[in-house]
Structures are given as structure tokens and as C-alpha cells.
Amino acid sequence: MNSLLFRYQTTIVRSLSTLSNYMKSTSFDYVVCGGGTAGCIIGRRLAENPNVSVCIIEGGPSDEGNETVLDIRKWADLLGTDFDYDYGIEEQLFGNSKIRHSRAKILGGCSSHNAGIAFIAPDVDFDRWERQGAHGWNAKSTRKYYDRVFEKVNLETIAPLNPLNAAFIHSCKLVNIPELAMNSDTFVSKFSDCCGYIQLNAKGFSRYSSARAYLHPLSSLPSNLTVLTNTTVTKLIIDEQSKTVTTVLTSGGEQIKVNKECVLSGGVFDSPKLLMLSGVGREEQLKELNIPCIVNLPGVGENLLDHPESVLIWESNCSIPEPVLQRYETVLFTKTQSYSDYPDAMFHFGLEAYDTHTKSYGYPTSEQAFCCTISVTQAKSVGHVRLRSNNYRDPLKIDFQYFTDKQKHDERVMVAAFKLARQIVQQSPFEKWRKCEIAPGEHVQTDEEISHYCRQVMNTLYHPAGTCKMGDTEKDEFAVVDSQLKVKGVKNLRVADASIFPDMISVNLCITCMMIGEKCADMIKQE
């Protein structure tokens, strides 16, 4: 009966609540909480062993057959929809409190929901991770897991067809920033000032999310893999004596037994939330919310990182040419501060007026406009995530503490990047296109004025990370997981998503989260 039920679930991929008449309690060897960017990969790889049973639990629906989701050109149409958790943030002292952090509520997670920009993180980022206690996560060790991702996930480089993109690249070279292939070994191994055409995890107009690459078609999944959609995990039951996860509870009241291991892949906000609701976190904070503390782990929810972003917008003299794929198709990396060893700023050039926040603050906009988003690659400001109550339905307190670093590194990089963006657009290739700067406008000139504008209208690259930090759990009291991604103090629980970042990587996160999924699955299989 159980094997028949498994086949029924994986073929139809229905919510667990619709099956509650058949199943109020069942058990699996491995339960993956979160069918997102990493979770889809972990579940599918573990199910390659026919002798184990695996369950992936996803809070949103399936992506299969949904053209709005699968069409990479329509990524912006997903923001703020039913496919988006759309998290708000706490009041910011120095940044924009109106920012909404889009997190995907759909199979494939943010890989089903983002702009598809695909990078291997530079070697320097991983070598720094290892120095911080993430043993075995150096550049050489992680590269083979990227390679496994690329066996499944198709990558395409934007073709140099758009004349406005070409104007950006040409202008970058005129200010002595060389063009480089973003997938080259030179970019990864010798990370330095460069510009170029981005890669996307796509094939033509169709995105290659982890769900598409590893799970589609859902009707052909092996019988030992169960995928439950529209199902929210509300709590882990952890045995206080053995310190093992025994059961996963869902919003429908179902109890899913864990025979071997549980893996959290809920993302930067929901993985620490689930840990805290389950009694794993800073003891005094849990007690204040009447949550029994099973493991006192003060790092849960700390170390919240991001790529803070601002934007300059120009009105165009000419009609903006149609994008090749998704409107943000060229990129620049540069070192703005003399003390930085590697590029500390990242630009994405946009074939539109990215006026999400500029418009709300009264800056003009235009149908015929282009923009340059500027972000800090290694921001020093660090925030945190807190529970608001012991009810899983209540929103988190998410406080990034943007631009609060005492060194003012983030502010200095943003101001310097702003000035460079202006310098690039003043170059001759833009003469045909450049009509006038409309946000903020050329009257904004002093460093103080530039800083105020950048922080006022800032947004996010949607790259939160770090809230279940990986490190040496014997030496670092704020490390939540060790190098095997095991949660300190719980024997059969791992975390595998961007929350495990010890610090921020210098590029877009999605492909690195896929790599984490591959590496996590391999570590479990080796044990």
C-alpha cells in the first residue's frame, strides 16, 4: 500500500492536505523541508539510491507547465504575486525601510522566480570561507559540484546583439575596465575589474530552474521520491534525550516521521525560523516566546547578509531596443576602494527605468529609459532575523541594518560606484542614447547628497544570506552548522541553502545554492 501511495503522490504531485484522508502519518528515510533551489537537488540526488525513501516538502505549488514561471522574460511579473512570500523588513536607520524581499513560493524556489543570472563564485570567496572554518569548501573542492550542476542545468551567454548593451560594454572599456567572459577561468580564479555579457541558467526563453533540471517531468520521478507541494512545515519534533529529529509537522496537522535525516532548505528566512520554532536558537529569546529550548544555539538568525543596491536612471533619446532575453544582460565588477583586494562593487546595466523605489520618492520616470544598478559585493553591515511570536503564521522580524557598519565601507563603495556609473554613461557610445539623468538628476553632486539618494531609494538584489552560518562549531559560538552542514547539537539535521554562507559571495547567488545542494547530497550519500 505504501509504495502504491508513493507512486500516486509523485505522479500527481499534490498537496499533503489533499491526501490527509489516506495518510495522517508516514515515514521517510530523508525528509527535505523546502523544495527550493537546493532542496530539489538534494531530494533528487538522494533518491538515486533505490533503497531509501525521500520526501521533498514545498510550501508552494508545482512550476511544471506554468509558462509565466518558466519564461525567463517574465521574471518581474512574479514579484508580489501568489508565488512570492514578499517579506517586509523592519524600520531601517540608514536605509530604505520600504524594501520587500521577494522569496519564491513555488517548486524550484528562487531559481524558478529570479532573473536567471548565473555565476560561479570567485575562488577568493571560497578560500575565505575555508579560512573561517568551512573546511572542505575551498575553491578546488567546490568546483566539482558546480560541474555536476552544469551537467543538469543549461547555461547560455547573452549574445552581443543589443546596441545599448554594446554601448555599455564599449563605455566600460573607455574607462579602462576590460571586457571578459563571465564564465572564464580568468574571471573565477583572478577576480578583478571587468565587464561582460552575463550567463543565464536558461535555454532560449525557458528558464532552467533546479525543479526543471532535476525533477521534470514530475510524472517520471522514481517511486522512492515523494514531492509534496502546497505544504508548509511548521515545526520539527526533536527528541530531547537523543537530540534527533523524529518528526516533521505540517500546517495540515500531518506528522511525517524521519528515519534517517532531515534537511532544511527553506531559505535564509525560513530555515532559521523553523529552527527557532523547534527549540533551536538563543535560549533567552526562545524563553521570552514560551518556546522550550532544546539546543542553545545563539547563531541562529544572526549574520544576516545582503547585496544592498541602488540605481541611476537616464531618459533615452531613442527607443530602447528589445532585450535579448531579460533586460539585465551586461555586468561590471570594479574595485572602488584602495584597501579592497578585489572588486567591491557590482553593476547590472538595465534596459528599462528600474523605478521601483525612485518613483515612490517622487523622482520622474520614463517609458524610454535605461539604468545602472550599483551594489556592494562584500557589504560589512550585518543584520538578524527574529521570531515575532511562537506562531508559525506570524511574520518574522527581519532587520538588515543596512549601512550601519562602523567603517562606513558600504556607504563609501556606494558613493564611488555612483560616480563611476555617471562617468561611464558620459562616454561617447552613449551620446546617441543619453537625453538626461532623471534619477536622481544632475543637481545631486556632493558625497552627502549622493549617499542620501542611494540610501533613500535603495533596493536589494534579493540576495539575503548567512542566517545559519557555517563554520567551526567548536570555536565559533555563532556557527550554526559545521562543514558537513550538520546543525550543532542535533544529530540528524542539516541546513543547505544560502543561510549557511559564512560571509557574502561577490556575485549572484543562485548557482552557488545549486552547488550547495549537490555537495550536501554527496556528503549524505558518502556517510
Half-sphere exposure of 367 (CA within 13 A, CB side): 1
Catalytic residue chosen out of the listed positions 348, 357, 409, 463:
463
| Pairing between β-strand 25-33 and β-strand 206-207 as defined by DSSP bridges | unpaired
Closest CA to 379 of 272, 505, 267, 500: 505
Give ∠ CA 319-320-326 in degrees, rounded to 5: 155
- 527 CB contacts (<8 Å, ≥6 apart)? none
Q: Which of 352, 387, 330 is nearest to 168 (CA)?
A: 330
463 is catalytic: yes
Over 141-164, what HEC string results? HHHHHHHHHHHHCCCEECCCCCHH
* C-alpha distance from residue 338 to each of 309, 343, 409 (Å): 21, 10, 12
Residues 6+ apart with CB under 8 A from 461: 306, 307, 309, 373, 375, 508
Identity (one letter) of the amino acid at 72? I
Phi, psi dihedral angles at 316 (to 5 degrees): -105, 145
* Strand, helix or coil for residue 267: helix
Contacts of 12 (CB under 8 A, 6+ apart): none
Beta strand 100-101 pairing with 87-88: antiparallel
- The phi, psi pair for 176, rounded to 5°, reads 70, 35
Q: Which of 43, 37, 33, 519 is nearest to 264 (CA)?
A: 33
Greatest CA span in the chain, whole angstroms? 72
What sections of 222-298 are H helices per DSSP? 267-277, 283-288
Does the annotation flag 233 for ligand binding? Answer: yes
Per DSSP, the residues of 338-384 read TT-SS--EEEEEESS---TTTGGGT----SSEEEEEEEETT----BE
Task: Return the number of other C-beta atoms located less than 10 Å from residue 442's C-beta.
Answer: 9
Distance between CA atoms of residues 131 and 125, nearest Å: 10
In the annotated binding site, the residues are 233
Residues that constitute the known binding site for FAD: 233
- Residues classed as catalytic: 463
